[in-house]
Structure 1
Amino acid sequence: MNTRIETPLQPTLTPAQREVFFRDGFLIMRQLASVERLGAMRSVALEHTESHVAPIEYEADVAYPGAPASREAAGGDTPRRLLQAYDRDPLFADWAADARLTAIVAQLLDSDTVWLSRNHHNCVMTKSPRFSTATAWHKDLRYWAFESPRLVNAWLALGDETPANGCMRLLPGTHRMSFDQEHMDADQFLREDREDNAALIDSAVNAELAPGDVLFFDASALHAAGANTTDQRKLSVVTTYYGADNAPVPGTRSARLEAVRVREPDHA
């Protein structure tokens, strides 16, 4: 991906940067988190992963193609996500409400008020050198319930992210597309056996990240990720936001845990 953007202390998106996001459905901002912050978060993430600190999701839990059949199977108890990052450690809560991060999200949502969802993402994604499974093409909104589809995800790389260790891949412009049911399988993954879908998949872009880079992407954008084929664990912090013109549907999974207001109109 060739969208290299340096972030000032008070980031204001240029018209060109906003156009990239609204056209493609994603945008990368470089070096948004400091080396010190990254080191501290990575240390906690590694400790919690190696000690299996709950709540946690395992490779067997996702039941993706190629995943271990159960937690008792070989690799089945490999951590995939450290859940509830905001409540897990103050380091992750501070990052989720970071002024530079939320300033960018506010501009992408066109909302001075920004809410963090504690029900979706709000996690540390981890890919083990062994037993990591690929994720097929999907939109995050497939199982979410909000008044509006306008949500933005922020994906912070705690280390290098490349095709070799399963970096994110995105299909530009798909946040503005709707798909008939025949294009999706029963689990709402894009069917790769269809010729018309294959042509779309050919447009895929790899979101290669360095430590501290953040990938912002529309929750309606189709994305996927490969397995980790390296000998190093990959760690990423993922948070989801919505603006003042949106809210989770009451009584649904999206409203189970109370949201956190991380930016207000009078924010300095």
Structure 2
Amino acid sequence: MSDQNFLKSKKEQVAELRETGFVIVKGLVSETRCEAMLAVARQQLAEAAAPLEFEADLQYPGAPSSKDAPGGHTVRRLLDAYVRHALFAEWATSPDVRGWMELYFGETPYLSRAHHNCMMTKHPAYGSLTGWHRDVRYWSFERDDLVSSWLALGDEEVDNGALWFVPGSHKLPFTSDRFDDAKFFRADTPDNAALIRTAFSPKLERGDVVFFHCNTLHSAGKNLTDQVKFSLVYTYRGASNAALPGSRSASKPEIALV
């Protein structure tokens, strides 16, 4: 359904995001640009350049039990991507992203440095799966209306831990009992299980971008291949949707896309 978005205008893409909760834009970033960013990411991963988040820090299913366990220093994210390298910052604030977000929000967009703002590195063997969730579960803004961009720097499919989305879930009201104590969407109840069965996993190629709403239910499986998967992820809000003072969401300076 979304594989034809390279033929659609930004207005049509934004309309699909509003309706479905996510939209795939094919080939938005050039092969050359992706290769350059991928080379930087691989080098920084090899150097274990801080700041980092480790799989062992999160304890998601399949993660090492501690940093002292086998695979304990498997990196999950290269954090604060915006300041890690100029190539990452240039994409985050590029005309393509700025124009897209301006159309969605109808006002000046801001890049959050407190949420996402990372190079995802999903590893074979010790790369954990991510349960069903809404990103907004730990975010604190005046409104639950933010959009994330997910840039695939290589092919992404089910075998290497691609994203899954539940279409239309960003519009659904959920009571708190449908989530567990960690605010993951429970898969052990009939209503939740039925909704999860409607999920869709888009197959992405290098340079494809997924834009998705902060309330869209999504998950990601384990990487069953022998290659690390790299994805550059940022989150944006409109100028009028400020982070709540004193919250984690307000903990880092934001970047206006002007």
Calculate the TM-score normalised by the size of structure 2.
0.97
Q: Aligned with 2:132: secondary structure?
A: strand
Match runs of 1:211-222 below 5 Å: 211-222=206-217
Tell me which of 18, 23, 30 is aligned to 2:19. Answer: 23
Q: Deviations over 1:127-181 (max 9, x none)?
A: 1122111000000000000011110000000000000000010001111112112
Supply the RMSD in Å over aligned alpha carbons: 1.3
Deviation at 1:12, TM superposition (A): 4.5
Return the alpha-carbon distance in structure 1 between the equivalents of residues 76 and 188 of structure 2.
27
Runs of 4+ off more than 6 Å = none
Tell whether the 8 Å contact from 1:155 to 1:236 is kept in structure 2 after alignment. Answer: yes
Return the alpha-carbon distance in structure 2 between the equivalents of residues 66 and 131 of structure 1.
6
Return the alpha-carbon distance in structure 2 between the equivalents of residues 215 and 173 of structure 1.
15
Query: What is the aligned partner in structure 2 of residue 89 from structure 1?
Result: 85
Matched, 1:58 2:54: yes
Tell whether the 8 Å contact from 2:166 to 2:195 is kept in structure 1 after alignment. Answer: yes
Tell me which of 68, 71, 82 is aligned to 2:67. Answer: 71
Q: Which amino acid in 2 is paired with 1:3? A: D
Return the alpha-carbon distance in structure 1 between the equivalents of residues 102 and 165 of structure 2.
22
Identity, % of aligned positions:
45
Q: Deviations over 1:85-136 (max 9, x none)?
A: 001111100010010122112222232x110000000000011122111000
Return the alpha-carbon distance in structure 2 between the equivalents of residues 3 and 66 of structure 1.
31
Query: What is the aligned partner in structure 2 of residue 266 from structure 1?
Result: none
Return the alpha-carbon distance in structure 2 between the equivalents of residues 107 and 46 of structure 1.
33
Moved more, 61-70 or 236-245: 61-70
Tell whether the 8 Å contact from 2:2 to 2:24 is kept in structure 1 after alignment. Answer: no
Q: Which amino acid in 2 is paired with 1:237? A: L
Q: Which amino acid in 1 is paired with 2:160? A: N
Structure 1 unmatched ranges of 5 or more: 264-268
Calculate the TM-score normalised by the size of structure 1.
0.93
Tell whether the 8 Å contact from 1:3 to 1:27 is kept in structure 2 after alignment. Answer: no
Return the alpha-carbon distance in structure 2 between the equivalents of residues 102 and 250 of structure 1.
25
Matched, 1:43 2:47: no
Return the alpha-carbon distance in structure 1 between the equivalents of residues 20 and 123 of structure 2.
30
Tell whether the 8 Å contact from 2:162 to 2:201 is kept in structure 1 after alignment. Answer: yes
Number of equivalent positions: 258
